[in-house]
């Protein structure tokens, strides 16, 4: 009888010192835990970033493999290259550049200027910080009912930044950001690896849905390097002279 009573007391102690006595995690708690698992301060404590990898891009229902390069310099410079001529002939070389509030693109050496590029490219630069971007900039974090992604339970949090709203799906076990959705875009993150002091998805599947079609681009990262030299001229190629990204 004494052994049974002792077991019961120990059982109650375990219950009271584990999950049953803990307060439910808030959206802020979950985001903070995710930031920690992805590398903490190292996610934002950098001046330059260089990503090297490949992209598999759909073009007229066909898929083409190309080289993917990203160059970023805080606080206001970004260059992304998609070289679809790297492995196959007759394709395109796309370059997207953001520099101090101005965005433009280059396709096979032909530049294109539009005021609408700046906001989009600036968002790409901001999200180089990963989950830490939302931790630092979200004006509201709303915890939604749990769901599953690829068969695994996830926390779902809606992050509001200005007029933008993004749904973040965070794995309940690893606390990695495994998916995000905004507007007509869904990005699925997988194959997490350590790059320096940070942990990033080495594969990103980006699905964009419109009334006419669904496009899917796959990105595979070979390396992510921080605080390495970047030629400033990379952010100035064919830069428009007029403010706002107008044609020269």
Burial class (CB in 10 A: 0-12, 13-18, 19+), 140: exposed
How does pLDDT run along the chain (248 residues), one tens digit per residue?
444 344 333 334 444 444 444 678 999 999 999 999 999 999 999 999 999 999 998 765 677 899 999 999 999 999 999 999 888 776 889 999 999 999 999 999 999 999 899 999 999 999 999 999 999 999 999 999 999 999 999 999 999 999 999 999 999 999 999 999 999 999 999 999 999 999 999 999 999 888 877 888 999 999 999 999 999 999 999 999 765 544 44
Q: Which one of 3.40.630.10, 2.50.20.10, 4.10.520.10, 3.90.79.10 gives the CATH number of domain 26-235?
A: 2.50.20.10
What are the residue boundaries of the structural domains of the chain, listed by start? 26-235
pTM across the whole model: 0.86
């Amino acid at each position: 009888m004494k052994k049974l009573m002792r077991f019961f007391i120990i059982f109650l102690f375990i219950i009271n010192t584990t999950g049953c006595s803990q307060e439910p995690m808030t959206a802020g708690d979950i985001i903070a835990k995710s930031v920690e698992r992805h590398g903490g301060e190292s996610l934002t404590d950098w001046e330059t970033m260089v990503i090297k990898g490949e992209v598999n891009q759909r073009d007229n229902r066909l898929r083409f493999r190309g080289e993917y390069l990203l160059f970023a310099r805080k606080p206001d410079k970004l260059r992304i290259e998609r070289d679809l001529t790297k492995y196959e002939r007759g394709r395109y070389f796309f370059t997207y550049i953001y520099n101090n509030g101005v965005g433009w693109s280059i396709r096979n050496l032909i530049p294109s200027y539009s005021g609408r590029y700046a906001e989009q490219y600036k968002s790409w630069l901001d999200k180089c910080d990963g989950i830490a971007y939302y931790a630092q900039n979200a004006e509201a974090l709303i915890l939604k009912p749990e769901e599953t992604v690829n068969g695994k339970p996830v926390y779902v949090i809606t992050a509001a930044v200005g007029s933008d709203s993004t749904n973040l799906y965070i794995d309940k076990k690893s606390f990695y950001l495994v998916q995000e959705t905004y507007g007509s875009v869904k990005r699925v993150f997988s194959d997490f690896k350590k790059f320096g002091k940070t942990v990033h998805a080495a594969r990103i599947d980006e699905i964009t849905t419109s009334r006419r079609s669904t496009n899917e681009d796959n990105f595979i990262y070979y390396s992510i390097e921080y605080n390495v030299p970047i030629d400033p001229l990379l952010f100035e190629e064919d830069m428009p002279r007029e403010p706002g990204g107008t044609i020269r």
